[in-house]
Amino acid sequence: MLTSLSIKNYALIDNLQVDFNDGFSIITGETGAGKSILLGGLSLILGKRADLSSLKDTEQKCVIEAVFDIKNYKLEALFKAEDFDYEHQTIIRREILPSGKSRAFVNDSPVNLNSLQLLGERLIDIHSQHETLQLTSNEFQFQIIDALADNEAVLQTYKTELKAYKSLNKELQELLNFQSEAIKEHDYNTFLLNELTEANLVEGELELLEEEYGTLNNIEGIKEKLSEAYQLLNEESIGILATLTLLKSTLQKLATLSSKYEDLFNRVNSSLIEMDDVYAEVDVLQDTLEADPNRLATVDAKLRLLHNLMHKHAASTVTELIDIKNKLQEKVLLTENLDASIDAKRLEIEAKTGILNSISKEIHSKRTKIIPELKAQLETILASLGMPNAQFKIELVYGDAFLPNGKDDLTFLFSANKGGHFNDLKKAASGGELSRIMLAIKSVLAKYIQLPTIMFDEIDTGVSGEISNKMGDIMLQMSKTMQVFSITHLPQIAAKGHTHFKVFKEDVNNVTQTNLIKLNHDERIVEIAQMLGGLEMSASAIAHAKELLN
Protein backbone atom coordinates (compact mmCIF):
# COMPACT_ATOMS: atom_id res chain seq x y z
CA MET A 1 0.00 0.00 0.00
CA LEU A 2 0.98 3.65 -0.43
CA THR A 3 2.21 4.91 2.95
CA SER A 4 3.53 8.36 2.06
CA LEU A 5 3.86 10.78 -0.82
CA SER A 6 6.23 13.73 -1.19
CA ILE A 7 6.01 16.22 -4.07
CA LYS A 8 8.40 19.15 -4.56
CA ASN A 9 8.32 21.80 -7.30
CA TYR A 10 5.61 20.14 -9.41
CA ALA A 11 2.97 22.25 -11.25
CA LEU A 12 1.22 24.31 -8.51
CA ILE A 13 2.72 22.23 -5.69
CA ASP A 14 5.69 23.81 -3.93
CA ASN A 15 6.34 21.27 -1.20
CA LEU A 16 3.83 18.63 -0.17
CA GLN A 17 4.35 15.79 2.31
CA VAL A 18 1.49 13.50 3.29
CA ASP A 19 1.17 10.11 5.02
CA PHE A 20 -1.59 7.61 4.21
CA ASN A 21 -3.25 4.80 6.13
CA ASP A 22 -4.75 1.54 4.97
CA GLY A 23 -8.49 1.21 4.56
CA PHE A 24 -10.71 3.73 2.75
CA SER A 25 -9.31 7.22 2.13
CA ILE A 26 -11.34 10.11 0.72
CA ILE A 27 -9.94 13.03 -1.27
CA THR A 28 -12.21 16.02 -1.85
CA GLY A 29 -11.79 19.56 -3.05
CA GLU A 30 -13.42 22.17 -5.21
CA THR A 31 -13.20 21.90 -8.99
CA GLY A 32 -9.82 23.28 -10.06
CA ALA A 33 -8.30 22.91 -6.61
CA GLY A 34 -5.59 20.58 -7.99
CA LYS A 35 -6.80 17.00 -7.64
CA SER A 36 -5.65 16.33 -11.20
CA ILE A 37 -2.22 17.77 -10.29
CA LEU A 38 -1.99 15.31 -7.41
CA LEU A 39 -2.86 12.43 -9.74
CA GLY A 40 -0.37 13.72 -12.31
CA GLY A 41 2.42 13.65 -9.76
CA LEU A 42 1.44 10.15 -8.68
CA SER A 43 1.39 9.02 -12.33
CA LEU A 44 5.05 10.05 -12.66
CA ILE A 45 5.87 7.61 -9.86
CA LEU A 46 4.10 4.92 -11.88
CA GLY A 47 6.25 5.51 -14.96
CA LYS A 48 4.42 8.18 -16.95
CA ARG A 49 6.66 10.31 -19.15
CA ALA A 50 7.50 13.77 -17.85
CA ASP A 51 8.15 17.11 -19.54
CA LEU A 52 9.73 20.40 -18.52
CA SER A 53 6.34 22.11 -18.16
CA SER A 54 5.83 20.04 -14.99
CA LEU A 55 8.32 22.20 -13.08
CA LYS A 56 6.89 24.96 -10.89
CA ASP A 57 10.26 26.70 -10.71
CA THR A 58 12.09 25.98 -13.96
CA GLU A 59 15.47 26.56 -12.32
CA GLN A 60 14.94 23.89 -9.65
CA LYS A 61 14.48 20.16 -10.09
CA CYS A 62 11.16 18.47 -9.38
CA VAL A 63 11.29 15.53 -6.96
CA ILE A 64 8.40 13.14 -6.34
CA GLU A 65 8.86 10.32 -3.88
CA ALA A 66 6.46 7.61 -2.73
CA VAL A 67 6.89 4.93 -0.09
CA PHE A 68 5.04 1.60 -0.47
CA ASP A 69 4.58 -1.26 1.96
CA ILE A 70 4.76 -4.27 -0.38
CA LYS A 71 5.37 -7.21 1.96
CA ASN A 72 2.01 -8.82 1.03
CA TYR A 73 2.27 -8.20 -2.73
CA LYS A 74 4.50 -11.18 -3.67
CA LEU A 75 6.74 -9.02 -5.85
CA GLU A 76 10.06 -10.70 -5.11
CA ALA A 77 10.11 -12.43 -8.54
CA LEU A 78 9.43 -9.14 -10.35
CA PHE A 79 12.17 -7.35 -8.41
CA LYS A 80 14.62 -10.15 -9.26
CA ALA A 81 13.64 -10.17 -12.95
CA GLU A 82 14.05 -6.39 -13.22
CA ASP A 83 17.19 -6.37 -11.05
CA PHE A 84 15.64 -4.14 -8.36
CA ASP A 85 16.78 -4.19 -4.72
CA TYR A 86 13.84 -5.69 -2.84
CA GLU A 87 12.70 -4.04 0.40
CA HIS A 88 9.38 -4.44 2.24
CA GLN A 89 9.34 -0.65 2.48
CA THR A 90 10.08 0.28 -1.12
CA ILE A 91 10.83 3.86 -2.13
CA ILE A 92 10.20 5.09 -5.66
CA ARG A 93 11.59 8.48 -6.67
CA ARG A 94 11.28 10.52 -9.87
CA GLU A 95 13.36 13.57 -10.61
CA ILE A 96 12.80 16.07 -13.44
CA LEU A 97 15.84 18.25 -13.97
CA PRO A 98 15.74 21.84 -15.30
CA SER A 99 17.46 20.49 -18.42
CA GLY A 100 14.34 18.44 -19.13
CA LYS A 101 16.00 15.12 -18.34
CA SER A 102 14.13 12.68 -16.12
CA ARG A 103 15.51 10.09 -13.72
CA ALA A 104 13.80 7.27 -11.83
CA PHE A 105 14.96 5.28 -8.79
CA VAL A 106 13.68 2.24 -6.92
CA ASN A 107 15.26 1.96 -3.48
CA ASP A 108 17.94 4.42 -4.65
CA SER A 109 18.91 2.28 -7.67
CA PRO A 110 18.39 3.92 -11.08
CA VAL A 111 15.76 2.23 -13.30
CA ASN A 112 14.31 2.83 -16.76
CA LEU A 113 10.69 3.87 -17.35
CA ASN A 114 9.61 0.54 -18.83
CA SER A 115 10.69 -1.29 -15.68
CA LEU A 116 9.07 1.40 -13.51
CA GLN A 117 5.79 0.99 -15.40
CA LEU A 118 5.86 -2.77 -14.82
CA LEU A 119 6.29 -2.18 -11.09
CA GLY A 120 3.76 0.67 -11.01
CA GLU A 121 1.03 -1.53 -12.49
CA ARG A 122 1.43 -3.85 -9.51
CA LEU A 123 1.26 -1.03 -6.93
CA ILE A 124 -1.54 1.38 -7.86
CA ASP A 125 -4.55 1.12 -10.13
CA ILE A 126 -5.84 4.62 -10.98
CA HIS A 127 -9.37 4.31 -12.33
CA SER A 128 -11.51 7.04 -13.80
CA GLN A 129 -14.52 7.32 -16.10
CA HIS A 130 -12.14 7.94 -18.97
CA GLU A 131 -10.13 4.78 -18.29
CA THR A 132 -12.80 2.12 -18.66
CA LEU A 133 -11.67 0.89 -22.10
CA GLN A 134 -9.65 -1.78 -20.31
CA LEU A 135 -12.98 -3.34 -19.41
CA THR A 136 -13.75 -3.95 -23.08
CA SER A 137 -10.44 -5.72 -23.65
CA ASN A 138 -10.72 -9.46 -24.18
CA GLU A 139 -7.46 -9.96 -22.27
CA PHE A 140 -8.84 -8.15 -19.21
CA GLN A 141 -12.08 -10.14 -19.39
CA PHE A 142 -10.08 -13.36 -19.30
CA GLN A 143 -8.14 -12.03 -16.30
CA ILE A 144 -11.42 -11.50 -14.43
CA ILE A 145 -12.66 -15.04 -15.12
CA ASP A 146 -9.29 -16.65 -14.38
CA ALA A 147 -8.97 -14.77 -11.09
CA LEU A 148 -12.32 -16.15 -9.93
CA ALA A 149 -11.53 -19.62 -11.31
CA ASP A 150 -8.18 -19.69 -9.45
CA ASN A 151 -6.38 -20.48 -12.70
CA GLU A 152 -3.08 -18.73 -11.92
CA ALA A 153 -1.04 -21.89 -11.28
CA VAL A 154 -2.50 -23.94 -14.13
CA LEU A 155 -2.13 -21.01 -16.53
CA GLN A 156 1.54 -20.69 -15.59
CA THR A 157 2.02 -24.40 -16.34
CA TYR A 158 0.18 -23.96 -19.64
CA LYS A 159 2.39 -21.02 -20.65
CA THR A 160 5.54 -23.00 -19.83
CA GLU A 161 4.35 -25.97 -21.91
CA LEU A 162 3.22 -23.67 -24.73
CA LYS A 163 6.68 -22.11 -24.87
CA ALA A 164 8.23 -25.58 -25.17
CA TYR A 165 5.64 -26.54 -27.80
CA LYS A 166 6.48 -23.49 -29.92
CA SER A 167 10.19 -24.23 -29.55
CA LEU A 168 9.66 -27.81 -30.79
CA ASN A 169 7.67 -26.57 -33.78
CA LYS A 170 10.43 -24.13 -34.61
CA GLU A 171 13.00 -26.94 -34.44
CA LEU A 172 10.82 -29.12 -36.70
CA GLN A 173 10.50 -26.33 -39.25
CA GLU A 174 14.26 -25.85 -39.22
CA LEU A 175 14.72 -29.58 -39.86
CA LEU A 176 12.21 -29.49 -42.72
CA ASN A 177 13.90 -26.44 -44.24
CA PHE A 178 17.30 -28.12 -43.88
CA GLN A 179 15.93 -31.29 -45.47
CA SER A 180 14.51 -29.30 -48.38
CA GLU A 181 17.91 -27.77 -49.05
CA ALA A 182 19.82 -30.98 -48.32
CA ILE A 183 17.75 -33.01 -50.77
CA LYS A 184 18.82 -30.66 -53.56
CA GLU A 185 22.47 -31.41 -52.76
CA HIS A 186 22.04 -35.04 -51.75
CA ASP A 187 22.39 -36.61 -55.20
CA TYR A 188 25.45 -34.57 -56.05
CA ASN A 189 27.06 -35.25 -52.66
CA THR A 190 26.33 -38.96 -53.08
CA PHE A 191 27.97 -38.94 -56.53
CA LEU A 192 31.07 -37.21 -55.17
CA LEU A 193 31.22 -39.62 -52.22
CA ASN A 194 30.95 -42.68 -54.48
CA GLU A 195 33.66 -41.29 -56.74
CA LEU A 196 36.04 -40.83 -53.80
CA THR A 197 35.10 -44.19 -52.25
CA GLU A 198 35.75 -46.07 -55.50
CA ALA A 199 39.19 -44.44 -55.70
CA ASN A 200 40.26 -46.55 -52.67
CA LEU A 201 42.24 -43.68 -51.23
CA VAL A 202 45.26 -44.60 -49.07
CA GLU A 203 47.41 -42.06 -47.26
CA GLY A 204 50.90 -41.77 -48.83
CA GLU A 205 50.02 -43.81 -51.94
CA LEU A 206 50.55 -40.88 -54.32
CA GLU A 207 54.27 -40.74 -53.58
CA LEU A 208 54.64 -44.54 -53.91
CA LEU A 209 52.77 -44.58 -57.21
CA GLU A 210 54.82 -41.74 -58.62
CA GLU A 211 58.02 -43.63 -57.70
CA GLU A 212 56.74 -46.86 -59.25
CA TYR A 213 55.66 -45.01 -62.39
CA GLY A 214 59.11 -43.45 -62.70
CA THR A 215 60.69 -46.94 -62.58
CA LEU A 216 58.29 -48.65 -65.01
CA ASN A 217 58.39 -45.78 -67.46
CA ASN A 218 62.26 -45.77 -67.62
CA ILE A 219 62.99 -49.49 -67.29
CA GLU A 220 65.31 -49.86 -70.36
CA GLY A 221 67.52 -46.98 -69.29
CA ILE A 222 67.65 -48.31 -65.74
CA LYS A 223 68.65 -51.78 -66.95
CA GLU A 224 71.37 -50.28 -69.12
CA LYS A 225 72.84 -48.32 -66.21
CA LEU A 226 72.65 -51.34 -63.90
CA SER A 227 74.57 -53.37 -66.49
CA GLU A 228 77.26 -50.71 -66.68
CA ALA A 229 77.51 -50.71 -62.88
CA TYR A 230 77.75 -54.50 -62.91
CA GLN A 231 80.65 -54.34 -65.32
CA LEU A 232 82.48 -51.64 -63.36
CA LEU A 233 82.19 -53.67 -60.22
CA ASN A 234 83.12 -57.06 -61.68
CA GLU A 235 85.59 -56.35 -64.55
CA GLU A 236 88.13 -59.16 -64.33
CA SER A 237 91.32 -57.12 -64.28
CA ILE A 238 90.31 -53.56 -63.56
CA GLY A 239 86.89 -53.94 -61.87
CA ILE A 240 86.27 -52.26 -58.54
CA LEU A 241 86.07 -55.54 -56.64
CA ALA A 242 89.30 -56.89 -58.18
CA THR A 243 91.12 -53.62 -57.50
CA LEU A 244 89.90 -53.46 -53.87
CA THR A 245 90.89 -57.13 -53.36
CA LEU A 246 94.42 -56.34 -54.58
CA LEU A 247 94.59 -53.21 -52.38
CA LYS A 248 93.44 -55.22 -49.37
CA SER A 249 96.11 -57.83 -49.97
CA THR A 250 98.83 -55.15 -50.27
CA LEU A 251 97.87 -53.39 -47.01
CA GLN A 252 97.45 -56.63 -45.14
CA LYS A 253 101.21 -57.05 -45.18
CA LEU A 254 101.65 -53.66 -43.49
CA ALA A 255 98.85 -54.05 -40.90
CA THR A 256 101.10 -55.98 -38.53
CA LEU A 257 103.72 -53.24 -38.48
CA SER A 258 101.75 -50.35 -37.11
CA SER A 259 98.25 -49.49 -35.89
CA LYS A 260 97.89 -46.72 -38.46
CA TYR A 261 98.49 -49.25 -41.28
CA GLU A 262 96.04 -51.55 -39.58
CA ASP A 263 93.43 -48.78 -39.69
CA LEU A 264 93.98 -48.31 -43.42
CA PHE A 265 93.62 -52.05 -43.94
CA ASN A 266 90.37 -52.18 -41.98
CA ARG A 267 88.92 -49.27 -43.93
CA VAL A 268 89.74 -50.88 -47.27
CA ASN A 269 88.33 -54.18 -46.04
CA SER A 270 85.07 -52.42 -45.05
CA SER A 271 84.85 -50.80 -48.49
CA LEU A 272 85.36 -54.17 -50.12
CA ILE A 273 82.58 -55.70 -48.04
CA GLU A 274 80.23 -52.75 -48.94
CA MET A 275 81.09 -52.97 -52.67
CA ASP A 276 80.50 -56.71 -52.56
CA ASP A 277 77.00 -56.03 -51.18
CA VAL A 278 76.38 -53.42 -53.90
CA TYR A 279 77.48 -55.90 -56.52
CA ALA A 280 75.11 -58.54 -55.14
CA GLU A 281 72.17 -56.07 -55.10
CA VAL A 282 72.87 -54.86 -58.65
CA ASP A 283 72.95 -58.50 -59.76
CA VAL A 284 69.55 -59.13 -58.10
CA LEU A 285 68.05 -55.94 -59.58
CA GLN A 286 69.16 -56.94 -63.05
CA ASP A 287 67.51 -60.32 -62.64
CA THR A 288 64.21 -58.99 -61.17
CA LEU A 289 63.73 -55.86 -63.27
CA GLU A 290 61.30 -56.63 -66.09
CA ALA A 291 59.21 -54.40 -68.32
CA ASP A 292 55.46 -54.59 -67.38
CA PRO A 293 53.28 -52.53 -69.75
CA ASN A 294 50.06 -53.60 -67.99
CA ARG A 295 51.28 -52.49 -64.58
CA LEU A 296 52.56 -49.25 -66.08
CA ALA A 297 49.10 -48.55 -67.53
CA THR A 298 47.45 -49.33 -64.18
CA VAL A 299 49.75 -47.00 -62.25
CA ASP A 300 49.33 -44.29 -64.86
CA ALA A 301 45.53 -44.53 -64.63
CA LYS A 302 45.55 -44.38 -60.85
CA LEU A 303 47.84 -41.33 -60.88
CA ARG A 304 45.62 -39.58 -63.41
CA LEU A 305 42.57 -40.36 -61.22
CA LEU A 306 44.22 -39.01 -58.08
CA HIS A 307 45.41 -35.83 -59.77
CA ASN A 308 41.96 -35.24 -61.31
CA LEU A 309 40.27 -35.70 -57.91
CA MET A 310 42.77 -33.39 -56.22
CA HIS A 311 42.15 -30.74 -58.87
CA LYS A 312 38.37 -31.20 -58.64
CA HIS A 313 38.30 -30.81 -54.87
CA ALA A 314 41.13 -28.25 -54.66
CA ALA A 315 43.20 -30.65 -52.54
CA SER A 316 46.98 -30.84 -52.45
CA THR A 317 47.34 -34.31 -50.87
CA VAL A 318 45.51 -37.63 -50.74
CA THR A 319 45.06 -37.01 -46.99
CA GLU A 320 42.98 -33.92 -47.81
CA LEU A 321 40.91 -36.00 -50.25
CA ILE A 322 40.23 -38.50 -47.47
CA ASP A 323 39.06 -35.68 -45.18
CA ILE A 324 36.73 -34.40 -47.90
CA LYS A 325 35.36 -37.91 -48.41
CA ASN A 326 34.64 -38.23 -44.65
CA LYS A 327 32.79 -34.89 -44.58
CA LEU A 328 30.72 -35.86 -47.61
CA GLN A 329 29.90 -39.12 -45.88
CA GLU A 330 28.63 -37.20 -42.83
CA LYS A 331 26.44 -34.96 -45.01
CA VAL A 332 24.98 -37.88 -46.91
CA LEU A 333 24.30 -39.82 -43.70
CA LEU A 334 22.75 -36.75 -42.07
CA THR A 335 20.43 -36.23 -45.02
CA GLU A 336 19.49 -39.91 -45.07
CA ASN A 337 18.81 -39.81 -41.30
CA LEU A 338 16.73 -36.61 -41.42
CA ASP A 339 13.50 -38.54 -41.85
CA ALA A 340 14.14 -40.30 -38.55
CA SER A 341 14.97 -36.99 -36.82
CA ILE A 342 11.84 -35.36 -38.25
CA ASP A 343 9.68 -38.30 -37.15
CA ALA A 344 11.18 -38.13 -33.65
CA LYS A 345 10.52 -34.37 -33.46
CA ARG A 346 6.92 -34.90 -34.59
CA LEU A 347 6.46 -37.47 -31.85
CA GLU A 348 7.74 -34.93 -29.30
CA ILE A 349 5.27 -32.34 -30.63
CA GLU A 350 2.46 -34.88 -30.51
CA ALA A 351 3.23 -35.62 -26.85
CA LYS A 352 3.43 -31.91 -26.02
CA THR A 353 0.12 -31.36 -27.85
CA GLY A 354 -1.50 -33.96 -25.63
CA ILE A 355 -0.18 -32.23 -22.50
CA LEU A 356 -1.41 -28.82 -23.70
CA ASN A 357 -4.81 -30.20 -24.62
CA SER A 358 -5.15 -31.71 -21.16
CA ILE A 359 -4.18 -28.44 -19.43
CA SER A 360 -6.36 -26.27 -21.68
CA LYS A 361 -9.37 -28.53 -20.99
CA GLU A 362 -8.76 -28.06 -17.27
CA ILE A 363 -8.60 -24.29 -17.76
CA HIS A 364 -11.79 -24.38 -19.84
CA SER A 365 -13.59 -26.49 -17.25
CA LYS A 366 -12.69 -24.17 -14.36
CA ARG A 367 -13.70 -21.10 -16.38
CA THR A 368 -17.00 -22.67 -17.39
CA LYS A 369 -17.87 -23.47 -13.77
CA ILE A 370 -17.14 -19.94 -12.49
CA ILE A 371 -18.92 -17.94 -15.23
CA PRO A 372 -22.48 -18.35 -13.78
CA GLU A 373 -21.19 -17.18 -10.37
CA LEU A 374 -19.42 -14.16 -11.92
CA LYS A 375 -22.53 -13.28 -13.94
CA ALA A 376 -24.78 -13.50 -10.85
CA GLN A 377 -22.46 -11.41 -8.66
CA LEU A 378 -22.06 -8.66 -11.27
CA GLU A 379 -25.79 -8.44 -12.00
CA THR A 380 -26.61 -8.30 -8.27
CA ILE A 381 -24.11 -5.49 -7.64
CA LEU A 382 -25.25 -3.52 -10.71
CA ALA A 383 -28.89 -3.83 -9.63
CA SER A 384 -27.94 -2.13 -6.36
CA LEU A 385 -26.15 0.57 -8.38
CA GLY A 386 -29.29 1.57 -10.27
CA MET A 387 -29.01 -0.85 -13.15
CA PRO A 388 -31.74 -3.40 -12.27
CA ASN A 389 -32.06 -4.73 -15.81
CA ALA A 390 -28.35 -5.17 -16.45
CA GLN A 391 -27.52 -8.60 -17.86
CA PHE A 392 -24.37 -10.29 -19.03
CA LYS A 393 -24.03 -13.03 -21.60
CA ILE A 394 -20.61 -14.63 -21.16
CA GLU A 395 -19.91 -17.36 -23.69
CA LEU A 396 -16.83 -19.57 -23.77
CA VAL A 397 -16.10 -21.69 -26.85
CA TYR A 398 -13.34 -24.29 -26.79
CA GLY A 399 -11.38 -23.91 -30.02
CA ASP A 400 -8.61 -25.67 -31.94
CA ALA A 401 -5.71 -23.26 -31.71
CA PHE A 402 -3.36 -22.90 -28.77
CA LEU A 403 -3.75 -19.28 -27.66
CA PRO A 404 -1.53 -17.49 -25.10
CA ASN A 405 -4.00 -18.34 -22.29
CA GLY A 406 -5.61 -21.59 -23.44
CA LYS A 407 -7.88 -22.63 -26.31
CA ASP A 408 -10.96 -20.61 -25.38
CA ASP A 409 -12.73 -17.94 -27.43
CA LEU A 410 -14.50 -15.55 -25.03
CA THR A 411 -17.52 -13.39 -25.84
CA PHE A 412 -18.41 -10.90 -23.10
CA LEU A 413 -21.74 -9.30 -24.02
CA PHE A 414 -23.93 -6.87 -22.09
CA SER A 415 -27.46 -5.49 -22.13
CA ALA A 416 -28.47 -2.55 -19.91
CA ASN A 417 -32.20 -2.63 -20.59
CA LYS A 418 -34.95 -5.18 -20.24
CA GLY A 419 -35.62 -6.79 -23.59
CA GLY A 420 -32.58 -5.11 -25.06
CA HIS A 421 -30.13 -6.75 -27.40
CA PHE A 422 -26.83 -8.06 -26.12
CA ASN A 423 -23.81 -6.31 -27.56
CA ASP A 424 -20.13 -5.64 -26.91
CA LEU A 425 -19.58 -3.68 -23.71
CA LYS A 426 -18.20 -0.61 -25.47
CA LYS A 427 -21.33 -0.46 -27.66
CA ALA A 428 -23.94 -1.47 -25.10
CA ALA A 429 -22.89 0.62 -22.07
CA SER A 430 -22.52 4.37 -21.59
CA GLY A 431 -19.50 5.93 -19.88
CA GLY A 432 -21.31 6.13 -16.53
CA GLU A 433 -22.51 2.53 -16.86
CA LEU A 434 -19.00 1.33 -17.71
CA SER A 435 -17.72 3.01 -14.53
CA ARG A 436 -20.29 1.19 -12.43
CA ILE A 437 -19.53 -2.09 -14.21
CA MET A 438 -15.82 -1.61 -13.52
CA LEU A 439 -16.54 -0.85 -9.86
CA ALA A 440 -18.61 -4.03 -9.67
CA ILE A 441 -15.83 -6.07 -11.28
CA LYS A 442 -13.12 -4.62 -9.02
CA SER A 443 -15.25 -5.34 -5.96
CA VAL A 444 -15.71 -8.96 -7.06
CA LEU A 445 -12.01 -9.37 -7.84
CA ALA A 446 -11.07 -8.00 -4.41
CA LYS A 447 -12.69 -11.10 -2.87
CA TYR A 448 -10.47 -13.48 -4.82
CA ILE A 449 -7.05 -11.88 -5.40
CA GLN A 450 -4.78 -9.33 -3.75
CA LEU A 451 -5.38 -6.21 -5.82
CA PRO A 452 -2.96 -3.27 -5.63
CA THR A 453 -3.95 0.05 -4.11
CA ILE A 454 -6.88 1.36 -6.15
CA MET A 455 -7.76 5.02 -6.68
CA PHE A 456 -11.24 5.81 -8.02
CA ASP A 457 -11.11 9.21 -9.70
CA GLU A 458 -14.63 10.70 -9.70
CA ILE A 459 -16.26 7.54 -11.02
CA ASP A 460 -19.39 8.69 -9.20
CA THR A 461 -19.89 11.60 -11.61
CA GLY A 462 -23.56 11.86 -12.56
CA VAL A 463 -24.64 9.59 -9.70
CA SER A 464 -26.59 10.69 -6.66
CA GLY A 465 -28.91 9.53 -3.89
CA GLU A 466 -29.09 5.91 -2.88
CA ILE A 467 -26.87 4.75 -5.75
CA SER A 468 -23.97 6.90 -4.54
CA ASN A 469 -24.55 5.56 -1.05
CA LYS A 470 -24.27 2.01 -2.40
CA MET A 471 -21.11 2.87 -4.37
CA GLY A 472 -19.58 4.12 -1.14
CA ASP A 473 -20.57 0.88 0.61
CA ILE A 474 -18.89 -1.18 -2.12
CA MET A 475 -15.65 0.82 -1.88
CA LEU A 476 -15.77 0.58 1.91
CA GLN A 477 -16.21 -3.18 1.69
CA MET A 478 -13.24 -3.42 -0.72
CA SER A 479 -11.09 -1.46 1.73
CA LYS A 480 -11.25 -4.36 4.21
CA THR A 481 -8.73 -6.28 2.12
CA MET A 482 -6.94 -3.49 0.26
CA GLN A 483 -6.12 0.21 0.30
CA VAL A 484 -8.81 2.25 -1.50
CA PHE A 485 -8.83 5.95 -2.43
CA SER A 486 -11.83 7.80 -3.78
CA ILE A 487 -11.67 11.28 -5.26
CA THR A 488 -15.29 12.34 -4.98
CA HIS A 489 -17.75 15.26 -5.05
CA LEU A 490 -20.47 13.29 -3.26
CA PRO A 491 -20.92 13.75 0.53
CA GLN A 492 -22.54 10.30 0.84
CA ILE A 493 -19.28 8.67 -0.32
CA ALA A 494 -16.97 11.12 1.46
CA ALA A 495 -18.60 10.34 4.81
CA LYS A 496 -17.77 6.63 4.53
CA GLY A 497 -13.98 7.05 4.45
CA HIS A 498 -11.76 6.08 7.34
CA THR A 499 -9.50 9.03 6.47
CA HIS A 500 -10.36 12.28 4.71
CA PHE A 501 -7.97 14.55 2.77
CA LYS A 502 -8.77 17.91 1.25
CA VAL A 503 -7.09 19.44 -1.79
CA PHE A 504 -7.18 23.23 -1.87
CA LYS A 505 -5.52 26.25 -3.40
CA GLU A 506 -4.05 29.13 -1.46
CA ASP A 507 -2.09 32.27 -2.32
CA VAL A 508 1.34 32.54 -0.67
CA ASN A 509 3.29 35.73 -1.40
CA ASN A 510 1.01 36.36 -4.39
CA VAL A 511 1.74 32.90 -5.79
CA THR A 512 -1.02 30.28 -6.07
CA GLN A 513 -0.16 26.92 -4.55
CA THR A 514 -1.97 23.60 -4.31
CA ASN A 515 -1.89 21.78 -0.99
CA LEU A 516 -3.29 18.65 0.61
CA ILE A 517 -4.20 18.28 4.28
CA LYS A 518 -5.67 15.55 6.42
CA LEU A 519 -8.95 16.61 8.06
CA ASN A 520 -9.83 15.90 11.68
CA HIS A 521 -13.38 15.02 12.71
CA ASP A 522 -14.60 18.63 13.07
CA GLU A 523 -12.97 19.64 9.79
CA ARG A 524 -14.69 16.71 8.08
CA ILE A 525 -18.06 17.93 9.34
CA VAL A 526 -17.41 21.35 7.80
CA GLU A 527 -16.14 19.88 4.50
CA ILE A 528 -19.10 17.50 4.11
CA ALA A 529 -21.57 20.25 5.10
CA GLN A 530 -20.08 22.48 2.38
CA MET A 531 -20.40 19.61 -0.09
CA LEU A 532 -24.08 19.37 0.89
CA GLY A 533 -25.03 23.05 0.94
CA GLY A 534 -22.20 25.19 -0.39
CA LEU A 535 -19.95 27.65 1.44
CA GLU A 536 -22.93 29.21 3.30
CA MET A 537 -23.49 26.24 5.57
CA SER A 538 -26.90 25.91 7.13
CA ALA A 539 -27.60 24.28 10.44
CA SER A 540 -29.42 21.51 8.59
CA ALA A 541 -26.34 20.91 6.37
CA ILE A 542 -24.12 20.60 9.44
CA ALA A 543 -26.64 18.28 11.10
CA HIS A 544 -26.83 16.21 7.94
CA ALA A 545 -23.05 16.04 7.74
CA LYS A 546 -22.85 14.79 11.34
CA GLU A 547 -25.54 12.24 10.60
CA LEU A 548 -23.64 10.95 7.57
CA LEU A 549 -20.42 10.67 9.55
CA ASN A 550 -22.13 8.85 12.38
Q: What DSSP line would sit under 320-338, residue for residue?
A: HHHHHHHHHHHHHHHHHHH
Same domain, 90 and 191: no
DSSP state of 452: -
pLDDT value for 148: 94
Write phi, then psi, for 327 (nearest 5 degrees): -70, -40
| CA dist., res. 366 & res. 386, Å (int) | 31
Q: Tell me how far apart the alpha carbons of residues 112 and 104 are, in angstroms, rounded to a whole number.
A: 7
* Whether residues 118 and 233 fall in one domain: no
In this structure, the answer to whether residues 105 and 230 fall within a common structural domain is: no
168 domain residue, yes or no: no
Q: Are residues 208 and 107 in the same domain?
A: no
Boundary residue ending a domain (305, 320, 337): 337
Report phi then psi at 34, rounded to 5. Answer: 125, 20
Q: What is the CATH number of the domain that holds 43?
A: 3.40.50.300
Q: Is the same domain home to 201 and 311?
A: yes
- Within a domain: residue 167? no
Domain assignment of residue 57, yes or no: yes
191 plus 309 within the same structural domain? yes
Q: Are residues 294 and 193 in the same domain?
A: yes
307 belongs to a structural domain:
yes
Final residue in a domain of this structure, among 337, 360, 393: 337
Residue type, 234: N
Query: Domain range spanning residue 23?
Result: 1-123+452-519
Residue where one domain finishes, among candidates 311, 337, 363? 337
Q: Based on the number of CB atoms within 10 Å of its own CB, is 264 exposed (0-12), middle (13-18) or buried (19 or more)? A: middle
Q: What is the pLDDT of residue 130?
A: 57
Q: Alpha-carbon distance 283 to 286, whole Å? A: 5
CB proximity list for 233: less than 8 A, separation 6 or greater: 239, 240, 241, 275, 278, 279, 282
At residue 131, the pLDDT reads 58
Same domain, 16 and 94: yes
Q: Are residues 260 and 331 in the same domain?
A: yes
Per-run averaged pLDDT (10 residues), the chain, 550 residues:
93 90 92 81 88 81 94 89 92 91 92 92 80 74 92 95 96 88 74 84 82 72 76 76 79 80 85 85 75 77 86 87 87 77 93 97 97 94 91 93 95 86 82 84 87 87 82 93 92 94 87 90 93 82 90
Number of domains observed in the structure of the chain = 2
Do 93 and 207 fall into the same domain?
no
Distance CA 331, CA 191 (A): 12
Q: Assess if residue 229 is contained within a domain.
A: yes
Position 309 in a domain: yes
| Domain identity same for 326 and 210 | yes
Same domain, 11 and 98: yes
Q: Does 365 map to a domain?
A: no
> Is the residue at 465 inside a domain?
yes
Q: Which residue in 508, 525, 486 sits closest to 28, CA to CA?
A: 486
Count the Cβ atoms, other than its own, within 10 Å of residue 162: 20
Does the pTM of the predicted model rise above 0.75? no
pLDDT at residue 344 in the model: 92
